[in-house]
């Protein structure tokens, strides 16, 4: 029965890689839009509220879509003073408990609290407060519960990966490996 932990974790990892890939492309778009805003402002002495808002939207999208991949790659903040000295099994225990006690409840809370907020935004077709700003603020707000869901999925993958370590599954996977 324990033979399925590592493959299941790798299967769930695909979701984080997909959203992370989208976030990477959005970084490129954000750099391009930022360059356009700078050229417009300093080269042509003009501006665009919509483009400036697009930078904010893109930045928020990168953060929310990249969170699960960051978790998968071990890129979130961690107090590493003692952690790195522990054995793989001890780190697997710490990571599992941290995910179950802190990450998953926080993500459920974010998803739950944001759900009404997002539905309300969709129901009114929320747009920018600026007349020349971007429409469809509701699309950006929709990323909040999506971020929570992708973090729950990746947190589950991390727990499965740690279970593979704790049950000595012969895959030899590292709980902090990306699964690539």
Residue 173 falls inside a structural domain: no
Contact 42, 90 (CB under 8 A): no
Reading the block at residue 64, the tokens are: 């929310």
Instruction: Report how far residue 55's alpha carbon sits from residue 32's, in angstroms, rounded to the nearest whole number.
Output: 9
Q: How many domains does the chain have?
A: 1
Residue 44 falls inside a structural domain: yes
Model confidence band, residue 4 (pLDDT cutoffs 50, 70, 90): confident
DSSP classification of residue 86? S
Residue 159 falls inside a structural domain: yes
Residue 176 falls inside a structural domain: no
Residue 120 falls inside a structural domain: yes
Residue 102 falls inside a structural domain: yes
Contact 128, 145 (CB under 8 A): no
Model confidence band, residue 1 (pLDDT cutoffs 50, 70, 90): very low
Place of tokens 């499965």: 160
175 versus 47: the higher-pLDDT residue is: 47
Q: Report CA 43 to chain centroid distance, whole Å.
A: 36
pLDDT, position 80? 73
Residue 172 falls inside a structural domain: no
**pLDDT, tens only, 95-124:** 999 999 999 999 999 999 999 999 999 999
> Of 23, 56, 65, 62, whose CA–CA distance to 128 is shortest?
56
Instruction: Report how far residue 83's alpha carbon sits from residue 100's, in angstroms, rounded to the nearest whole number.
Output: 18
pLDDT, position 170? 55
Domain of 145 in residue numbering reads as: 2-77+84-166
Other beta carbons within 10 Å of 68: 29
Residue 171 falls inside a structural domain: no
């Amino acid at each position: 029965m324990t033979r399925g932990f590592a493959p299941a974790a790798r299967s769930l990892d695909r979701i984080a890689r997909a959203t992370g890939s989208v976030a990477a492309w959005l970084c490129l778009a954000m750099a391009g839009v930022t360059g356009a805003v700078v050229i417009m402002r300093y080269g042509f002495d003009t501006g665009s509220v919509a483009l400036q808002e697009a930078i904010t939207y893109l930045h928020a999208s990168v953060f929310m879509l990249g969170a699960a991949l960051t978790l998968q790659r071990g890129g979130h903040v961690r107090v590493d003073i003692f952690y790195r000295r522990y054995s793989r099994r001890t780190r697997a225990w710490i990571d599992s408990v941290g995910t179950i006690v802190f990450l998953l409840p926080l993500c459920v809370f974010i998803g739950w609290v944001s759900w009404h907020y997002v539905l309300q935004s969709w129901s009114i077709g929320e747009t920018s407060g600026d007349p020349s700003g971007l429409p469809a603020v509701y699309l950006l707000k929709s990323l909040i519960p999506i971020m929570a869901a992708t973090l729950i999925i990746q947190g589950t993958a991390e727990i499965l990966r740690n279970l593979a370590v704790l049950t000595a599954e012969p895959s030899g996977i590292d709980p902090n490996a990306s699964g690539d």
